[in-house]
Structure 1
């Protein structure tokens, strides 16, 4: 059985406040509990509240634009998180103030875990939560942006289901599930920044072992199938250049790209293998341009050419 407590009684959190003191005044954790704490109060305690323009702060916190629709910008921020407005928030603070995400949410989680252990002798896991949208679904849910002392992904590889089927890719993001459950218990407007989760001690790591943190939930660069919005992907492919190449992932297989180009270019053009590369004989200038754009979007680039024949090679091969 899993139980969750999201206690009342936390007032306005200010810079320098001790989160462990605030937590322990409200709950008595036991070994194996998981403490979920909102990033908002972590940021307030760490002095991440600022005066200033939100748009300017978003620009400073942004590493790469993923997609934009009117005033909404989805970006990769300095923490590697893909979020609306880089996670910069202007809610639950005085007008004219903004809240940045913690400088290092995993370090914040480690600090809270260590403080709880030092004052109580209890071994807990800690999750720092924040709200994010999902690419395919309406609404938002809380996710783990920081974690300590916790298994963040429960990889089922090597296990079998009750019917004997091998589980190859099943890997529940249990830290995110705990964050979502905590938000359900605490609510958004009730002033309950802490949630104590009991019943998943199997996910809590031994004392002194903090684990990979929520950074372990981030996809490595180039492996995200949705590294750009649909419009932005088209524009990036047309513009070419190295700036967006990683967002398209690793180079496609030569046979895969050859099939794509054959379908795109149609009659009068020819695509043949040339060692590790491809030779494209374009029937007209537009077909050559289409081949270059499609090649870029699949991790390839144009190399030498001879007359109407364009030679393509995987980008990594040419760069090495």
Structure 2
């Protein structure tokens, strides 16, 4: 098997502070136009997409905003200091802490919500850059999430436009000739995490470029990052341990009450 070309990842310098209504296509094209080439993939931090789309909401209490964005509570823990962490599914289907509601670097009394449709945002940026620069590029919108079973956080793809989000290797063979049955790397998440190494969290470098995986760039109508979200019916860990125990205990109690009621009605 031939070696893959080297993977090059770098941040775009010169991205200004983003405000509501900022034209991200124009900003990115000005910052990286001469550097970009066909097959490049740009990873854009969701925060600047949200700012450009004016996703600020007035919220004296961030917890109220989290509740409004929550579709399903997966797990909740209250700590000795009184602080509560909620792991929830938000309206985008993403399971994360605090539903993606961001209160950092926002005007006093406001919070920033995730984009309404990150896939649509990514497609719009990709389409704009393709038209502006005359080259075929892909775009990923990323956000920082925790991971089950592991400490720390890493960036994941929550939006994608013109990029294959999976590399489906099922049906191929490994180096020893054995068939690959379930191997399907989520390359969109891998690319998002790789660019976080050069963007950093406090360097004000919200856009990075990946070069070397032009094979992943394709039509704008490719499935977006929403296709990464595992359907609930296939999720083996849809609840936290305490929540699953409480749900099972409540179901057992209800079953026992029904059994007693049936026995009482049946008589001796």
Query: TM exceeds 0.5?
Result: yes
Partner in structure 2 of residue 138 of structure 1: 151
Partner in structure 1 of residue 31 of structure 2: 26
Unaligned runs of 5+ in 1: 241-288, 294-301, 309-320
> Given the alignment of the two structures, is residue 73 of structure 1 paired with residue 86 of structure 2, yes or no?
yes
8 Å CA contact retained: 2:29, 2:132: no
Deviations 1:174-208 (A, max 9, x none): 000000011111101000111011110000114xx
1:1-320 equivalent positions in 2, closer than 5 A: 1-28=6-33, 29-52=36-59, 53-70=61-78, 71-206=84-219, 209-240=220-251, 289=252, 292=255
1:222: how far off?
1.3
Deviations 1:33-71 (A, max 9, x none): 101100000000000012212111101100000000111
Q: TM-score under structure 2 normalisation?
A: 0.88
Tell me the secondary structure at the aligned position of residue 32 of structure 2. coil
Deviations 1:138-181 (A, max 9, x none): 00000000001111011111011111111111111000000001
Larger of the two Rg values belongs to structure: 1
Unaligned runs of 5+ in 2: 1-5, 79-83
1:224: how far off?
0.9
8 Å CA contact retained: 1:150, 1:210: no
Stretches of 4+ aligned residues off by more than 4 angstroms = 289-293, 305-308
Q: Evaluate the alpha carbon distance shift between residue 18 and residue 68 of structure 1 in structure 2; reply closer, same or farther with a 3 A threshold.
A: same
Q: Aligned partners of 2:67 and 2:165: how far apart in 1?
A: 30
Which structure would you say has the larger RCO, counting Cα contacts within 8 Å and 6 or more residues apart? 2
Q: TM-score under structure 1 normalisation?
A: 0.74
The alignment yields a C-alpha RMSD, in angstroms, of 1.9
